[in-house]
Amino acid sequence: MSLGNYALKDEIREYWTKRAETFDQSPGQFIKPGAEHDAWAAMLRRHMGDDARQVLELAFGTGEVTAILLGLGCEVTGLDLTEAMLSRARAKHAGKPGLRLFLGDAEDTREANNRYDAVVSRHLVWTLVDPAAAFRDWFRVLKPGGRVVIMDGDYVRLSRIGRLRLALSDWLSARQGATGPAVDRAAHEAIQQQVYFRDGLRPARLRGMLEEAGFTDFRQEKPSGPHAAQRKGAPLRQKLRVGVWNSFVLSCAKPG
């Protein structure tokens, strides 16, 4: 690992350490029980396949996707870079069988070869420093036929409509005094400008890199089910933000 990369990972870790305590209050983060939970579960099952049981979850954060995976009957091993996230996720899922959560780096998992049916991540890939190395590692730890499932978005490029929606949402929030948890926007910006996908994470580019790592059998969709459930009953200021960042789910397989 180069010194430059080391410094950037420290920055990333520090940023998420500060956000850990209130992260579940951020819009779109916490997965509501009921319709939203079911929509995430159905989408994950579609992409992982019916038989996926041994799952490696990368960047579990506060453990929201972890809960869905456990609900699907999977045995989950999770790695996250940030100790504060690890503590929260461990507390949230204390005593649940079939779960092992550790500190670790998604770019170098140090897991055994051919061990998992699926490697799953939400909102991780945009922040990878060396995604090509990460994808080679995920290929290595998957069993033949196993699938990578990436749920992410392009957090750099916004359409004009998207910009308008965010501006209107910010305006409504200020008017209603509805401030969310504090976010260090300068730190976020600084990280975004240094990561590999600093120009934005586009599914087509991602797919090309995954193909280079050896993956095939691609499936892609928009997370319309979870988004519809997030909009339902939410105040307008939150509805406006749902789906603004061109979110996608992309999955592919290690040839079996």
Ligand X SMILES: C[S@@+](CC[C@H](N)C(=O)[O-])C[C@H]1O[C@@H](n2cnc3c(N)ncnc32)[C@H](O)[C@@H]1O
Under the rule (CB under 6 A), what is the footprint of ligand X?
12, 16, 29, 58-62, 64-65, 79-82, 85, 105-107, 122-124, 127
Rounded to the nearest whole angstrom, what is the least distance from the CB of residue 194 to ligand X in the complex?
Answer: 12
Rounded to the nearest whole angstrom, what is the least distance from the CB of residue 95 to ligand X in the complex?
Answer: 21
Quote the CA–CA distance of 252 and 149 in Å, as a whole number. Answer: 7
User: In terms of CB distance, is 155 or 215 closer to ligand X?
Assistant: 155
Residue 131 exposure: Cα atoms within 13 Å on the Cβ side:
20
Rounded to the nearest whole angstrom, what is the least distance from the CB of residue 175 to ligand X in the complex?
Answer: 27
What would the two tokens of residue 71 be?
């609900």
Rounded to the nearest whole angstrom, what is the least distance from the CB of residue 177 to ligand X in the complex?
Answer: 26
Rounded to the nearest whole angstrom, what is the least distance from the CB of residue 243 to ligand X in the complex?
Answer: 15
User: In terms of CB distance, is 195 or 252 closer to ligand X?
Assistant: 195
Q: What phi and psi values does residue 50 have, to the nearest 5 degrees?
A: -65, -30
- Buried residues in 210-230 as b, exposed as e (16+ CB within 10 A): beebebeeeeeeebebbbebb
User: In terms of CB distance, is 168 or 227 closer to ligand X?
Assistant: 227
User: In terms of CB distance, is 79 or 242 closer to ligand X?
Assistant: 79
Q: How many CB atoms lie within 10 A of CB 74?
A: 23
User: In terms of CB distance, is 172 or 188 closer to ligand X?
Assistant: 188
User: In terms of CB distance, is 6 or 171 closer to ligand X?
Assistant: 6
Position with the least CB separation from ligand X: 61
Rounded to the nearest whole angstrom, what is the least distance from the CB of residue 187 to ligand X in the complex?
Answer: 13
User: Residue with structure tokens 């090509």?
Assistant: 132
Q: How many CB atoms lie within 10 A of CB 104?
A: 19
